[in-house]
């Protein structure tokens, strides 16, 4: 496997070198000769406008009624002048911050140095790097810029953002960091690489700088414009084997068929309409009324657009560095998910998705808190059965059954009463009795729930880290217990099961947590079916001991 340069084209070395920290951790510090680089000089312009918009939003939200009542041309010009001055100050502050912000990549990991008066240093050791994503917000995308996010194992917002660099340089930087994190190439090759300057129209790698179609030559006139537009709207991922690709028509139809999404939008519209009608009936038409409803009027289109953008142009391909995904309309992003980091999978199938056999899949990845609709953990916004099979085949550890995909399909599509497993017998939980069931398979704990939208939580048994039994006066009276299964970054709840059955389940999972999860033996953990080598595939299947019915 080859490694690409990690130094973007537009960066320039900062005078001086990264200091080496003394003490017992000096071995993990970047080497003294490692050069630091600045991001693109246009970064202050891309980031400075956020300060202006924030200040403007606060001022207008608090004083908009007074501004409307006292509006004059003279005051409007004065306000525009003040806004211009604020914009210049914001850009100046951003420029100072940019000048004192540098990053470096070496055999030990990624460092980000920042601060004008008080210097700080964020460090991502290569052993702790979980994934590297490339994000392109709208303004940065129009300027050909991108942000590189390095996700680090840890709790909370554990990541390093390198913003902004050229799109081609961001792609090179992503490959270089991943190569270092996976020991895929000699670190010196990525560390010693020099910036590569290119002319407009050249591609950084085969197939385009960011994995898209090669840009046409500048002399092709209108053909270049059309190619640039296609590249802007669909700057896709072309490396690796295609796993899933979501057409726009399927995305729109899936939203229309999603009862939860449609009902939420309709309820918001009805709520706003009722509030406006009542306000007009009591006080007549008043601008203050619309100002009070402004947050809701903004939030609703944002929610709808966010759901569309989360699956727009979605493409996933399997590469040597895991599953690579691209999504987004105005703001695009590409992410990498490695199967060995996955702690939990969740499959979702709303009621009206059952006929066309569509399924959404999300994962929980150790060290990544990006679990939004357009986040890295959303590995399949709406996929067919074949796309689901390919995605799970490259990401999910074996369940230990004769046909894992048939088992998953049965757990998703069959009525809960036809699924053999553990379920509550308490009469007061009449919905859970008909919808919730817990199944312990040789390779995973599976929890099925949901009335209109069926959900399937799959937790590999070797990923279990913590088990907690919950008891209380009411639980003791009705003879049930609750169990919380802890994995990295998530809790899976198994609720209101008979005490004897939950204690048996707890005993089996406790043995799993004590014997299966061994950090020194990660190479022997179960691997996704489609990623197995012929020799590994010929090994004995997972033992069936400990299965509960």
The answer to whether residue 85 is domain-embedded is: yes
Q: Which residue has the higher pLDDT, 520 or 91?
A: 91
Cα–Cα distance for residue pair 243/387, rounded to 1 Å: 6
The overall average pLDDT reported for the chain is 76
Length of the chain (residues): 549
Q: Picking from 105-109, 190-194, 345-349, 360-364, which range would have the lowest pLDDT averaged per residue? A: 190-194
- C-alpha gyration radius of the chain: 27
Residues 6+ apart with CB under 8 A from 248: 312, 313
* pLDDT tens, position by position, 424-482: 988 888 889 899 999 999 999 999 999 899 999 999 998 898 899 998 888 888 989 99
Instruction: Give burial (CB, 10 Å; 0-12/13-18/19+) of 172.
Output: buried
Q: Mean pLDDT across the stretch 68-85?
A: 74
Number of domains comprising the chain: 3
* pLDDT tens, position by position, 20-30: 333 333 344 54
The answer to whether residue 240 is domain-embedded is: no
Cα–Cα distance for residue pair 283/213, rounded to 1 Å: 58
Of 311, 326, 357, the residue that ends a domain is: 311
Instruction: Name which of 332, 349, 324 is nearest 257 in CA terms.
Output: 349
Whether residue 404 is found in the same domain as residue 515: yes
Dihedral pair phi/psi, residue 303, rounded to 5°: -65, -45
* Token couple for 433: 């009795």
Q: Mean pLDDT across the stretch 346-353?
A: 94
Q: Mean pLDDT across the stretch 108-123?
A: 87
pLDDT classification of 2: cutoffs 50, 70, 90: very low
Whether residue 409 is found in the same domain as residue 521: yes
* Token couple for 269: 């519209």
Q: Picking from 186-200, 254-268, 334-348, 399-413, which range would have the lowest pLDDT averaged per residue? A: 186-200
| The pLDDT of residue 154 | 65
* pLDDT tens, position by position, 146-161: 999 988 876 556 788 9
Whether residue 408 is found in the same domain as residue 302: no
> Which residue range(s) make up the domain with 69?
43-99
Q: Mean pLDDT across the stretch 59-83?
A: 68
The answer to whether residue 119 is domain-embedded is: no
Residue 131: strand pairing partners: 151
* pLDDT tens, position by position, 520-529: 455 555 677 6
* pLDDT tens, position by position, 293-335: 777 778 888 889 989 988 999 999 998 878 899 998 888 888 8
109-114 and 102-106 strand pairing: antiparallel
Place of tokens 């050069």: 35
Whether residue 414 is found in the same domain as residue 520: yes
Cα–Cα distance for residue pair 334/324, rounded to 1 Å: 7
The answer to whether residue 301 is domain-embedded is: yes
The answer to whether residue 543 is domain-embedded is: no
Q: Picking from 104-108, 174-178, 189-193, which range would have the lowest pLDDT averaged per residue? A: 189-193
Domain with 522 in it: what CATH number? 2.30.29
Instruction: Name which of 148, 208, 210 is nearest 174 in CA terms.
Output: 148
Q: Confirm if 163 and 39 have CB atoms less than 8 A apart.
A: yes
The answer to whether residue 472 is domain-embedded is: yes
* pLDDT tens, position by position, 158-174: 788 998 899 888 888 98
The answer to whether residue 547 is domain-embedded is: no
What kind and span of H or E run contains 225? helix 222-233
Whether residue 407 is found in the same domain as residue 517: yes
pLDDT classification of 501: cutoffs 50, 70, 90: very high
| The pLDDT of residue 372 | 59
Q: What percent of the chain has pLDDT over 90?
A: 28
The answer to whether residue 182 is domain-embedded is: no
Instruction: Name which of 449, 489, 516, 404 is nearest 157 in CA terms.
Output: 489
3-state secondary structure of 381: strand
């Amino acid at each position: 496997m080859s490694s690409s340069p990690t130094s973007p084209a537009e960066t320039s070395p900062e005078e001086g070198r990264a200091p080496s920290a003394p003490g017992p951790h000096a071995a993990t510090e970047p080497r003294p000769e490692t050069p630091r680089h600045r991001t693109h000089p246009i970064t202050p312009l891309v980031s400075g406008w956020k300060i202006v918009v924030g200040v403007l939003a606060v001022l207008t939200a608090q004083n908009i009624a007074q501004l409307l009542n006292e509006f004059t041309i003279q005051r409007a010009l004065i306000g525009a002048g003040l806004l211009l001055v604020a914009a210049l100050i914001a850009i100046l502050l951003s420029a100072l911050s940019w000048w004192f912000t540098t990053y470096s990549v070496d055999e030990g990991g990624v460092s980000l140095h920042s601060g004008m008066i008080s210097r700080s240093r964020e460090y991502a050791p290569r052993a702790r790097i979980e994934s590297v994503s490339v994000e392109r917000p709208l303004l940065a995308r129009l300027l050909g810029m991108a942000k590189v996010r390095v996700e680090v194992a840890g709790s909370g917002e554990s990541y390093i953002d390198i913003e902004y660099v050229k799109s081609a340089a961001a792609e090179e930087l992503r490959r270089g960091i991943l190569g270092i994190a996976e020991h895929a190439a000699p670190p010196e090759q990525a560390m010693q690489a020099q910036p590569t300057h290119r002319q407009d129209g050249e591609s950084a790698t085969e197939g385009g700088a960011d994995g898209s179609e090669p840009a046409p030559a500048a002399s092709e006139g209108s053909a270049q414009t059309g190619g640039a537009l296609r590249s802007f709207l669909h700057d896709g991922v072309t490396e690796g084997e295609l796993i899933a690709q979501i057409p726009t028509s399927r995305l729109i139809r899936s939203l229309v068929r999603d009862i939860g999404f449609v009902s939420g939008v309709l309820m918001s519209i009805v709520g706003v309409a009722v509030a406006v009608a009542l306000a007009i009936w009591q006080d007549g038409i008043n601008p203050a009324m619309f100002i009070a409803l402004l947050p809701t009027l903004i939030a609703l289109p944002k929610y709808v657009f966010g759901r569309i953008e989360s699956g727009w142009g979605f493409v996933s391909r399997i590469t040597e560095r895991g599953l690579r995904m691209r999504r987004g309309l105005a703001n695009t992003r590409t992410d990498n998910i490695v199967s060995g980091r996955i702690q939990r999978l969740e499959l979702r199938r709303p009621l009206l998705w059952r006929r066309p056999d569509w399924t959404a899949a999300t994962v929980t990845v150790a060290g990544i808190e990006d679990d939004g609709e357009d986040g890295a953990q959303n590995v399949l916004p709406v996929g067919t059965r074949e796309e689901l099979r390919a995605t799970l085949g490259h990401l999910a550890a074996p369940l230990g059954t004769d046909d894992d995909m048939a088992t998953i399909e049965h757990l998703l599509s069959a009525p809960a009463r036809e699924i053999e497993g553990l379920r509550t017998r308490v009469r007061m939980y009449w919905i859970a009795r008909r919808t919730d069931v817990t199944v312990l398979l040789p390779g995973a704990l599976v929890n099925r729930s949901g009335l209109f939208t069926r959900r399937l939580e799959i937790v590999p048994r070797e990923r279990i880290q913590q088990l907690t039994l919950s008891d209380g006066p009411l639980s003791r009276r009705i003879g049930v217990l609750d169990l919380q299964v802890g994995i990295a970054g998530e809790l899976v709840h198994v609720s209101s099961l008979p005490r004897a059955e939950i204690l048996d389940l707890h005993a089996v999972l406790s043995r799993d947590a004590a014997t299966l999860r061994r950090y020194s033996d990660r190479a022997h953990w179960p691997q996704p079916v489609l990623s197995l080598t012929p020799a590994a595939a010929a090994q004995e299947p997972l033992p069936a001991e400990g299965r509960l019915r």
